[in-house]
Structure 1
Amino acid sequence: MDRVFQLAAERPVVVFSKSSCCMCHTIKTLFFDFGVNPTVYELDQIPGGREIEQALARHGVAGDFPVVFIGGNLVGGANEIMTLHLNGSLSAMLKRAGALWL
């Protein structure tokens, strides 16, 4: 899990995704619509992706993709991101992380 947190801390918004996941696509599109350029790791396409997926599962994030980190902190999956968006707190969180300047 250390590698996951290291990757998550390198950029303001990090998304662990799978290329065939429709909710992953939806959340990435939401970030792009905000003007945020998240760092995306497509676990089914990168070397070591399976190991990252297993580390996330050991941390309690099993099979729920995407997995989103903002400001180095685990936020959660699509449900958590959409809840933050709908209650108006996602943009503030993105601003605090330095991912959004508006």
Structure 2
Amino acid sequence: MDKVARVASENGLVIFSKSTCCLCYAVNILFQELGVTPYVHEIDHDPEGKEIEKALTRMGCNAPIPAIFINGKLVGSTNEVMSLHLSGALIPLLRPYQTTTN
């Protein structure tokens, strides 16, 4: 979907989220603790939310939310982000977006 690609490319770090999703909240808190402030697009507040969710699934996001994009590229959902973090590969990806030093 064009809207997903546009939002992901216009913002360096994006979480497609739902306001009631605890996993979305957890990923957002992780990013804040790592010193980055992602752009959070709440699809449950977007009239095109259902289409966005379908588009994220078609793009290969196993769980459509949260869907995390870094530098315009789909990283994945919670499992992929946590795996990257545990392996030490997440922080280098986030470094350009850090506002604080960890």
Provide the TM-score with structure 2 as the length reference: 0.88
Contact 2:15 2:67 in 1 (8 A): yes
Deviations along 1:26-56, one digit per CA (max 9) or x if unpaired, are 0000011111110001111123222211221
Alignment correspondent of 2:42: 42
C-alpha distance in 2 between matches for 1:62 and 1:86: 19
Identity over aligned pairs, percent: 46
Alignment correspondent of 2:93: 93
C-alpha distance in 1 between matches for 2:51 and 2:72: 19
Where structure 1 has 5 or more consecutive residues not aligned to the other structure, the ranges are: none
Runs of 4+ that moved beyond 6 A: none
Q: CA RMSD in A?
A: 1.5
**Aligned pairs, number:** 100
C-alpha distance in 2 between matches for 1:7 and 1:92: 22
C-alpha distance in 2 between matches for 1:55 and 1:34: 28
Contact 2:63 2:77 in 1 (8 A): no
Alignment correspondent of 2:84: 84
Where structure 2 has 5 or more consecutive residues not aligned to the other structure, the ranges are: none
